[in-house]
Amino acid sequence: MFKYSYLQKTVIISLVAVSIFTQSCKKGEIISTPTLSDQNKLSAAALESTSTSPILAGSSLQLGINGHPLDGTGAYSYLTAAKQVELLKSMGMTWYRVDVTTMSDGSITVPYLYNPLKEAAIAGKVNILPVLYTRTLNMSATESASYEAGKKIGGNFAAKYGAYFNYYELGNELDLKILLAGKSGQSQSHYDTAKFKIIAAYLKGMDVGIKEMDPGAKTMVDASWLHYAFFWLLDNYGVKYDIIAYHWYSEMESAAAGTTYKIDDITKKLSGTFSKPIWFTEFGQRFKNNGVDEENQQKFITSFLEKCKKNPRVQVVMGYELLDEPQKNSLLESNYGFLKWQAYPNSWSKKLVAETLTIK
């Protein structure tokens, strides 16, 4: 059994006190900016508020970023949760997308990392978007077994944490598991039907499990590149997700606009194809190590934000990612950050895009 230190016990006691206090507040009240609180969860109306980021002035678009604060190792272990939230706030961001792995009872596997993050997010009025890892997905299972496995993991997580979240992302890029070789993903025929049914059953179960435990919850499923037919398949199968989450990177932007696909604005393509709200839960610049990566990153991020800003169907956009991760072997994976390390792990600085977003 996990043993808590004196400091960790102090944090837990503080969190209990916060929870008791917030229970006295009126649940569901509308707030000017989406905030994370223990008992007053986000409402859809909260998304109508104006972003604090100067680059999005006059827009209702909400800005956030991805991070890996629950990994326990690597770059994120060198910045406290409070410092990470502070950095988000300095760039006008109100969302932090975080991978979450759970145990069989729904508990997050690293409470000693999650609890300080939750406390910092509450204090900083930053929303955590949990990406619920599909750790029990078995591609060899039957559809009924897959549905029950998804329902269990979703239900158990929402039973534990439904007081803190109203938005849940179900897995990550599951479209890639079933895409047929050489296909663009724009047609339903581009996917492996048998494998799709297993994934769809699991997602359907996750959605049902979450909403049984947290009736006000909103769920989202993501896809990337031009794999938007994945959502048609989900709809036909009866998966009741609420938001289309999408992942978009710089090389996709240029490739989609070419003569093959002629899609110069993925936000318009999605909003013209689907009726659900749209969140870009990942977008970013691919690192090329060509000496002008920061300039390219800044250019792509700001130009894509302008497109999102002009499309009222796009509600939230989240960059990838907060910190460079030098511990990763891939040159690409190591350099996505909006912040770079001057001397890892002792000193860091903001890249050009972060300086552009920073509230002066």
d(CA 160, CA 38): 12
Residue 185 lies in a domain: no
pLDDT tens, position by position, 284-343 = 999 999 889 999 999 999 999 999 999 999 999 999 999 999 999 899 999 999 999 999
d(CA 267, CA 241): 19
Residue 56's pLDDT is: 85
Helices 293-310 and 266-273 meet at what angle, rounded to 10?
30
Residue 56 lies in a domain: yes
Residue with tokens 């796009």: 314
Are 102 and 135 spatial neighbours (Cβ–Cβ below 8 Å)?
yes
Residues of the chain predicted below pLDDT 50: 1-40, 42-50
Residue with tokens 């970023």: 65
d(CA 70, CA 110): 7
Question: 278 lies in which domain range?
Answer: 6-133+242-357
d(CA 134, CA 329): 24
Residue 289 lies in a domain: yes
160's enclosing H/E stretch is helix 143-161
**Up-side HSE of residue 105: CA atoms within 13 Å toward CB?**
3
Residue 51's pLDDT is: 56
Residue 41's pLDDT is: 57
Residue with tokens 């110069």: 264
d(CA 226, CA 317): 18
Residue 121 lies in a domain: yes
Residue with tokens 């944490």: 161
Q: Which two tokens stand for residue 18?
A: 């916060």
Closest CA to 339 of 321, 356, 359, 327: 321
Are 119 and 126 spatial neighbours (Cβ–Cβ below 8 Å)?
no
Residue 55's pLDDT is: 85
Q: Which two tokens stand for residue 172?
A: 């990550």
Residue 149 lies in a domain: no
d(CA 98, CA 172): 11
d(CA 177, CA 196): 8
Q: Domain of 340: which CATH number? A: 3.20.20
Residue 53's pLDDT is: 75
pTM: 0.87
Residue 225 lies in a domain: no
Closest CA to 172 of 206, 216, 141: 206
Residue 223 lies in a domain: no
Count structural domains, the chain: 1
Residue 201 lies in a domain: no
